[in-house]
Amino acid sequence: MRNILYISLIFFSIHFSYSQNPNNPLVTKDALGQKKWVDSIYNGLSLQEKIGQLFMVRAMTSANTKDVDGIKALIKNNHIGGIIFSKGGPEKLAKLSNTYQGLSKVPMLMSMDAEWGLSMRLDSTYAFPWNMTLGAIKDKYLVEKAGKHIGEHCKRLGIHFNFGPDVDINTNPNNPIIGNRSFGENREEVTAHALAFMKGLQSAGVMATGKHFPGHGDTETDSHKALPTITFTEKRIDSIELYPYKTLIKNGMESVMVAHLNVPSLEPKPDFPSSLSKAIITDLLKEKMGFEGLIFTDALEMKGVANFSSPGDIDLAAFLAGNDILLISEDVPKAMAKITEAYNAKEITEERLAYSVKKILMAKYKVGLNHYKPIDTTNLISDLNRLEDDILNEELFENAITVVKNDKEVLPIRDLDKKAIAYVKLGDDSGTPFLNELKKYTKVHEVKSDTYGYIKSKLDSYNTVIVGLHRSNANPWKSFSFTPEEIQLLESIAQTHTVILDVFVKPYALLDLPTIENIEGIVVSYQNSEVAQEKSAQIIFGALSAKGKLPVSVGNGLHAGDGIEISSILRLGYTVPERVGIDSEKLHKIDAIAQRAVDEHMTPGIQLLVARKGQIIYNKNFGKHTYDKKSEAVEFNDIYDIASLTKIVATLPLVMEIVEKDDDITINSTLGELLPDYKNSNKANITLKQMLSHYARLKPWIPFYIATLDSAKMPSSEYYSKTPTEIFNIKVTNNLYLKRDYPDSIQKVIKDSDLLKKQGYRYSDLPYYILKKFIETYYDRTLDHLVQTHFYESLGMNFTTYNPYLKFPMKHIVPTENDTYYRHQVVQGYVHDMGAAMQNGVGGHAGVFSNANDIAKIMQMYLQEGFYGGKRYLKPETVDMFNTCYYCNNGNRRGLGFDKPQLGKSGPTCGCLSMKSFGHSGFTGTYTWADPDEELVYVFLANRTYPSSEINMLLRENIRTDIQELIYEAIIN
């Protein structure tokens, strides 16, 4: 019997002799040099050192001294050929790896399970999307980039083998161990994604490993705990499970990991693990499929195989079956003794041993271990968490997130002025990034309670409900299902409301739903990472397009390959600067200028925003509301008095709208034509174009409030009351009410005022007093109501309003000045400008409060020539008409309402913008500018007037324009 075995093993050894076939994936371009090195190393090894090369043991980077000493002993005494690193951190791994390599006669292969990046095993490292998420991406080049980035991280950390990609075809939704680790259920798509990932990984110089051969996708048993059985026919396995391996082998896959599976159609022995099967490894993988790369066992400690026999016997059986590397042996010394015994008994020939050991050495040469260098730990953490990784991660999720249902085109959400939106969180993990991102677009209120019945009762005032299912993103095996109570709540809400369901879990969660009939919109976001939540919110509101497709079927008529493409409706998105051609390092130099402004008391606080190409790339806050140490730090939802920015965000859009829709009104219409009261005045022939260009000979300013003060320069009782009455009903500020007819007096003073003697550019607030009256007369509505209903509500400018004290908590309204000349109190929640205050807080020239995010929206609307969020507010020709300098030849840089870049050396900008650019500044320190040529929006909000408005250090020190200049210097392309 032993002779027969010996003869068969001799045949085996000859048949599988060490191959320098150029098609062998382990062969390098320098094949002769590689062979020379391999033969030299092999010939210098003792039998024990050769056998030791077959073993790859696990090392924890969080290991204690005892564990570390154990690994050192295996290196010194058993000459192991490699290590698979597990839990811990990268810096500790690097140090341990250098230590271990220093003890080894032959440099060892370092490996890791890093299917979605090093973070699969290590802290402080980058987590890319899971395979199921990547499987939703149509663009395979992005998947290849993911593989390359992961490979670069492995390479940087001295990892030579990544045990990925997982090429299992997950045709069983109940698979407990694969699931999210699979690219999907379609063999062609899994193959295409796996091939792209493999190419990326190997292009970085890291070896890829296809697993789990012959296919672990259709089982309900975890091989870590027991031996799963695959009951399919050989024909079915060849057609489905083996399909990706055939393609990857043809394209140079360097290694395969064999699973612990019972496959009766491929291995006749009952309950016999595939990892120990000669029929599966040698006959099928090597001979029939022609694979010449390295073959790894799955971990030999796993119950799927460990229950088969005792330590040592398993390792011997695995080697005899055709495996090259024995992964995580339960007992290396015992296993080596068994293999040595078999060698001495001629059960294993020298040729058989050389076949595997030389392949291992070939791999070592290919990954550069013939010129081994220790891992450099300098900047290691930053190298493993790069900006380009952030960029790619965003791209991956943007391309993966999938819309699978969109009844009545509920997505993306349009007509914000008609929507009352609530958010309901299901699941046991955080949905805060999702909710915060949703709130950037419009009012979204979270309705929550431990009692689902209470949630349902609180939704009556909403017509649209966004439901998010959020469960742990810690790993792919976490729970993903709806609970029965969650399903009941979802069905109840869907019966009475328009519902958008967003699942931040494995798509199989949708299988839990008995029906989706009443749910209008369904989005699959795959993971509950911060990026997934933010990008999904941006897709829901149309800042991004939806491009993904389902990688698996999920019931209710939703099949693999389904995915509804939705185009962006040009709302602002949020990303990193490099994606829109801005150097983030250069851009962040503006931090220092903003901080200097705060530190040197030029302004207590600042909101600062930059957007380019429709994406907000910088949005930061500096300082506090006041200089008081106990004052609130500036937050994104705090609102500022934007002063004269009111002109272009309130009055101007309404004037543009009227000119566009009314054929009888043009920019050449005169005041006498627009307002009959002016027919017989000295201003009757002033045109709208002249007024908006500050070229109408109007006085720059009239201090209306001074006439209402008494001899002590206090508000006169003739004009004011401390309590509201029928006569005194204009609220100027706390406990101060102006006579109701005084705004009419203001209009009369303006109408009767003298004109400047000389025609020329002179900035004036007076046109906006006049235009306020014109607009309100034209529409028979107040200015504040008109701008809200015509623009702000549908633009999603929910933090923009006149008289914010009526709508917002004072803690979110930044104070403007400690007024010692008129109101004699801190001005907070009420407009700073005295003339606007005397018009009940609603001026055409001042009075609006806002935050940077909202100002960016209306500036982006202008930049997009009147279009935003799927709605056309103004025609392009209207925007162009008002963004034209009509009197440049006369030394007047102004457009119609918009400020324009300086014509000479000094002016309102850094002097580095195109002449198409436009914007405005405000007395309180506010500033905004847009540049069509560079597709750029810049917003700077401040309260430099606090505590006193007398000295304008922001202007004197060129803070706003210096920041603007740095923004332009940061433009790459």
User: 915-934: per-residue pLDDT in tens?
Assistant: 999 999 999 999 999 999 99
pLDDT per residue as tens digits for the range 447-474: 998 888 899 999 999 999 999 999 999 9
What pLDDT was estimated at residue 306? 66
pLDDT band at 19 (very low <50, low <70, confident <90, very high): low
Per-residue confidence band for 7, with pLDDT thresholds at 50, 70 and 90? very low
Q: Where are the beta strands (DSSP E) in 801-959?
A: 801-802, 817-819, 825-827, 848-850, 867-868, 871-872, 918-921, 927-931, 936-942
**Whether 224 is catalytic:** yes
Cα 102 from Cα 514, distance rounded (Å): 60
- Contact between residue 521 and residue 404 where contact means Cβ atoms under 8 Å apart: no
pLDDT at 633 over 70: yes
For residues 131 and 178, what is the distance between their CA atoms, to the nearest angstrom? 10
What integer pLDDT is reported at residue 12 of this predicted model?
Answer: 42
pLDDT digits (tens, 9 = 90+) for 737-766: 999 999 999 999 999 999 999 999 999 999
Please enumerate in sequence order all residues whose Cβ is within 8 A of that of 36, keeping only pairs 6 or more positions apart, or say none: none
pLDDT at res. 338 = 96
3-class SS at 809? Answer: coil
Give the integer Cα–Cα distance in Å for 345 and 343: 5
Please confirm whether the linkage preceding 767 is cis (ω < 30° from 0): no
pLDDT band per the 50, 70, 90 thresholds, residue 64: confident
- Helix, coil or strand: residue 162: strand
Q: Is 299 buried (19+), middle (13-18) or exposed (0-12) by CB count in 10 A?
A: buried
Give the global pTM. 0.95
User: Is 423 in a helix, a strand, or coil?
Assistant: strand
Is pLDDT above 60 for 631? yes
Q: Is the CB of residue 610 less than 8 Å from the CB of residue 618?
A: yes
Residue 787 scores a pLDDT above 50: yes
pLDDT confidence tier of residue 20, bands split at 50, 70 and 90: low
The Cα 763–Cα 765 span in angstroms is: 7
Element (H, E) at 326: strand 326-327
Rg for the chain, CA atoms, rounded: 36
pLDDT averaged over every residue in the chain:
95
Mind listing the pLDDT tens digit for each residue in 320-350?
A: 999 999 999 999 999 999 999 999 999 999 9
Inform me whether the pLDDT recorded for 4 exceeds 60.
no
Q: What is the 3-state secondary structure (H, E, C) of 370-382?
A: HHCCCCCCCCHHH
Cα separation, 554 vs 272, in Å, equals: 33
- Tell me how far apart the alpha carbons of residues 692 and 774 are, in angstroms, rounded to a whole number: 14
Mean pLDDT of 818-840: 98
Q: What is the pLDDT of residues 134-157, one digit of tens each?
A: 999 999 999 999 999 999 999 999
Give the span between the Cα atoms of 174 and 506, in whole angstroms.
12
pLDDT at position 249 is 97
Q: Would the pLDDT of 905 be above 90?
A: no
Q: Please list the alpha-helical segments (H only) found in 138-258.
A: 140-156, 187-203, 234-239, 243-250
Q: What is the pLDDT of residue 303?
A: 73
- Give how far the C-alpha of residue 219 lies from the chain's centroid of Cα atoms, to the nearest Å: 34
Contact yes or no for 890/697 (Cβ under 8 A): no
477-512: b or e for each residue (b if 16 or more CB lie within 10 Å)? eeebbbeeebeebbbbbbeebbbbbbbbbbbbbbbb
Percent of the chain as helix, strand, coil, to the nearest 5: 40, 15, 45
Task: Give residue 353's identity as a one-letter amino acid code.
Answer: L
Percent of the chain past pLDDT 90, that is, above it, reads 92
pLDDT tens figures, 168-214: 999 999 888 898 999 999 999 999 999 999 999 999 999 999 999 99
**pLDDT confidence of 811, banded at 50, 70, 90?**
very high
The arithmetic mean of pLDDT across residues 360-365, rounded, is 98
pLDDT at 379 over 50: yes
Distance of CA 726 to the CA centre of its chain: 54
What is the predicted pLDDT for the residue at 311? 81
Catalytic-labelled residue, pool 113, 166, 238, 298: 298
Quick one: pLDDT at residue 891?
95
Rounded average pLDDT over 626-632: 97
Token pair in block for residue 802: 């006149």
Are 305 and 272 spatial neighbours (Cβ–Cβ below 8 Å)?
no
832 is catalytic: no
Task: Write down the catalytic residue from 222, 224, 790, 880.
Answer: 224
Q: Sort residue 942 into left (φ over 0), alpha (ψ -120 to 50) or beta.
A: beta
- What are the residues facing 335 on neighbouring strands? none
Question: Which position has the token pair 């109007």?
Answer: 698
Q: What is the pLDDT of residue 21?
A: 74
pLDDT at position 218: 80
DSSP state of 279: I
Q: What is the pLDDT of residues 538-576, one digit of tens each?
A: 999 999 999 999 999 999 999 999 999 999 999 999 999
Query: 757: which DSSP letter?
Result: S
| Percent over 70 (pLDDT), the chain | 97
Mean predicted confidence (pLDDT) in 408-436: 97
The answer on pLDDT for 18 being more than 60 is no
pLDDT tops 70 at residue 293 = yes
Which residues are CB-contacts of 323 (< 8 A; sequence separation ≥ 6)?
A: 258, 275, 281, 295, 296, 297, 356
Tokens 């962040």 locate to 588
Q: Looking at residue 305, what is its pLDDT?
A: 75
CB within 8 A of 624, min separation 6: which ones?
604, 605, 631, 632, 633, 634
Give, in order, the Cα–Cα distances in Å from 345 to each of 5, 337, 340.
11, 12, 8
Query: Is it the case that residue 16 has pLDDT exceeding 50?
Result: no
For the residues 283-303, what does the mean pLDDT come to?
A: 94
- For the chain, the straight-line distance linking the first and the last C-alpha, in angstroms and rounded, comes to 76
Contact 574, 531 (CB under 8 A): no
Q: Are strands 728-733 and 736-739 parallel, antiparallel or unpaired?
A: antiparallel
- 3-class secondary structure, 591: helix
* Mean pLDDT calculated for residue range 409-432: 97
The three-class DSSP label of residue 21 is: coil
| Pair 939, 594: CB distance under 8 Å | no
- What are the CA-CA distances from residue 575 to residues 276, 395, 588, 959 (Å)? 50, 10, 15, 25
- Does the pLDDT at position 356 exceed 60? yes
CA 943, 948, 954 angle in degrees (round to 5)? 50
